[in-house]
Amino acid sequence: MCGIVGYVGPKQAYDYLIEGLFRLEYRGYDSAGVALQQAGQIDVRKKTGRVSQLAELVKVQPVTGNAGIGHTRWATHGEPSDANSHPHVGGNGEVVLVHNGVIENYALLRDKLTELGYVFRSATDTEVAAHLIAHQLEEETKLGSDPTLAETCIQAVEKAIKKIKGTYGLAILFRDVPGLLVAARLGSPLVVGIGKGEYYLASDASPLVGHTEEVVYLNDHEIAVITADQFQLRHQNGGSNAKHIKVLEQAAVDTDLGEFEHYMLKEIFEQPTSIENALRGRLDDDEATAVFGGLNMDPQKLRCIDRIVLTACGTSWHSALVGEYLIEEFARIPVEVEYASELRYRNPPMTDRTMVFAITQSGETADTLAAMRECKRKGHPTLAICNTVGSTIAREADGGIYLHAGPEIGVASTKAFTSQVTVLTLLALFMGRMRNLSYPAGKRIISHLREMPDKIRQTLKCYDAVKEVARKYYTAENFLYMGRLYNFPVALEGALKLKEISYIHAEGYPAAEMKHGPIALIDEDTPSVFIAPRCGIYPKVMSNLQEVKARRGPVIAIACEGDDKIADLADDVIYVPDVDEYLQPLVTSIPLQLLSYEIAILRGCNVDRPRNLAKSVTVE
C-alpha cells in the first residue's frame, strides 16, 4: 500500500525523492518522509499528512545528499503520526529504512529486541525490521569474517529478513557505508531504474518516468545491492541472480493531469481511448473472433476447459461478475466468481480442466496474487487480466491479457473497470467461437465492439445532466443502486464508487431483490438509482421502480436515449446510448462514475485520495 523511492548517484537525491513521492501518493497519504546520507550521517525528515507537507518541512529544515530513500505511508500498525512515519532508525542510527508490507511476527521480534536493550519509539511493525537489521549487523561485525563493511551490511540484511514473517518491500541505508542502498522484496513490489552512473528505486514505475527507460523488477526473495557505479541482484539465501532488464514504455504525459482538475475525472474521460486500446489488434474479422497473443495455451487445451474461475477484489470483482454473464452466455462454460481474499483460504473442488483468471489493475494486489499462486500450485492453468506491464501477477501467471489502459492514478478505479469488461467481452467471444457461437453472431459482436469508443464519447455528454442530479442529492446519507442481469454488477460498482470517494453509505442489489429486505430502507431521504436501459426484462425493472415510487422514494434512472416512459416515473433521468444488453455495462457505469465524482466534490472530499484507501492493496 505504501510508496517507496530511493536514489544513489551524483545528483542531489532529494529532488528525485520528493518528485517520486508525489507520483506515488496514491499508494498512501497518511504521512511521508525522506532520509538522506551525507558526510557520515543520515538525516531524516518526516511529517504526518500529505507529501506537500513534507516538502514544506524540508524547505525549513533542508537536507542534502547523493543517496536517499523516501516513503509515503498508508497506516497498518500505528495511527498516522510523526513518530509512526517512515523512515525508521535502527540501533543507534547505523540503519535507516523504509518499508511497505506487514510483519506478522513483529510482536515476538519486538519483545526479543526489547530484552536486548533496543528502544522503540513508534507503534509500527517496521521499526522491528530496522532494529533487527541493526542487531544482525552488530552480530556480523563481531564475527569479523567479511572483507568489507559493505558486505557485512548486506549479509546482515540477508540474515535479518529470514527471521521476518509477512510481506515487505525494504529500502535500507547504512550510516557507515556511504552510497550503499540495499533493497529487498517479498510480496511488496519494487523496481530498479538503471541510469548512467546512477540508479533509482520505486514501488512502481511511475516515479521512474523521465529519468530512465530501463528497469528491473525485483522478484520475491531478491535483494538489490545498489551503488552509484553498479547494481547487483542477489538471492536472500546467497548467490547472484541474473538481471532481466525491461524497457519502460510509460510516457510522462500519462501521469499529467492536463486540463482536468482531478485524476479521476481525467481517467473517466479517457475511457473512449482506453477501450480503443483494449480492442486494438484483437478483432479478427475473417474468423469472426478475438485474437490474443499472450494466453500461452493451445486451442486443443482451451477446448478441454470445462470450468472457469474468475478471482479478483473490489472493482475487479465487479468486472468479473460481468465476465461471468458474458462467458456463460457466449461460450456456455460454467463460471465461478471468487473473492481472491476468500479463495486463497478455501479448498474448492477444481479439476485439471478448470482455468483460473486473476483480474487486477495493478498486478500487485496481495490477495489476488496469493489466490493465483495457490491455484497455480495445484496445477490449474492460471492466467491474468492485468493493466500493469511487469507487475508480479503479470510475470507469474502462465499467460494473460493486458488492458493497455495506461496508468490509473485515481484511487477509485474507473477506466480499468471498463477496460476489464471490454477484455472479458473479447474473451467470451474468443471462447464462444471455439465452441458453439456462430460466425454471424461473432461478426455482429465485433461490429458492436468497434462502435463502443464512439458510444462512450456520446455517453460522456451526460456530464451536465449528472451535475444537476448531484446538486439535488449530494446531502443524502444513504443510496440504493438497483440493476438486473448485466447491470447488477454495475449497481454494485456504482455503490462502491459512491462509498469510496464521498463517504456516503450505498448498497447495490439486483432490482428484484429489493422486496426481499432492502425495501425497508426506502424513504423520502434515500435516493434509489435504477440502472434501467432497454432489455429483455425492462418491464420487470419498471415494476421494481414503481414499488419505490409507491413508498415516496426518490428515483434516479439511468436509461436509454428516447425512453419517455421512464421519464414519467423517475424523478431524474440520465440518458445513455442504446446498445446491446451485453455491452450496457460499458455505458451505464460511466454516469455512475461521474455522479460519485460530482457528489464527492460537492461534499468537499478529496476524490483522488479518499480517506483510509490506497490504490494498490499490497497487504492482506
Determine contact, residues 310/324, Cβ cutoff 8 Å.
yes
Q: How far apart are CA 411 and CA 74, in angstroms?
A: 13
- Which uninterrupted H or E stretch holds 108? helix 106-115
Please say if the pLDDT value at position 410 is more than 90: no
Task: For residue 121, name the pLDDT band (cuts at 50, 70, 90).
Answer: very high
The rounded distance, in Å, linking the Cα atoms of 375 and 342 is 13
Q: What CATH number labels 3-101+169-253? A: 3.60.20.10
pLDDT range class, residue 617, cuts 50, 70, 90: low
More confident residue, 74 or 459: 459
Return the pLDDT at 253: 47
Task: Kindly give, in sequence order, each residue whose CB lies less than 8 Å from that of residue 583, ignoring residues fewer than 6 positions away.
Answer: 425, 448, 449, 452, 455
- Grid coordinates in use for 382? 492460471
| Assigned C-alpha cell, 534 | 432497454
Q: Judge whether residue 255 has pLDDT over 80.
A: no
Residue 619 has pLDDT above 60, yes or no: no
Residues noted as catalytic: 2, 615
Q: Which residues contact 319 (CB under 8 A, 6 or more apart)?
A: 312, 359, 417, 420, 421, 424, 489, 493
* Domain pair 3-101+169-253 / 263-602, same fold: no
C-alpha cell at 285: 474479422
Residues 100, 104, 105: CA angle, nearest 5 degrees: 125
pLDDT digits (tens, 9 = 90+) for 321-347: 999 999 999 999 999 999 999 988 888
Pairing relationship of beta strands 3-8 and 199-202 according to DSSP bridges = antiparallel
Q: State mean pLDDT over 211-239.
A: 89
In this structure, what are the phi and psi dihedrals at residue 551, rounded to the nearest 5 degrees? -110, 20
Q: Report residue 532 as a C-alpha cell.
A: 434501467
What are the residue ranges spanned by the domains of the chain?
3-101+169-253, 263-602
Q: Cα dist. 14→20, 58, 168, 339 in Å?
A: 10, 10, 23, 40
Check: pTM over 0.85? Answer yes or no: no
pLDDT tens by residue, 499-533 = 999 999 999 998 777 778 877 778 888 899 999 88
Q: Compute, in degrees rounded to 10, the torsion defined by CA atoms 2, 122, 222, 151.
A: 140
In sequence order, the β-bridge partners of residue 576 are 560
What is the CATH number that goes with domain 263-602?
Answer: 3.40.50.10490
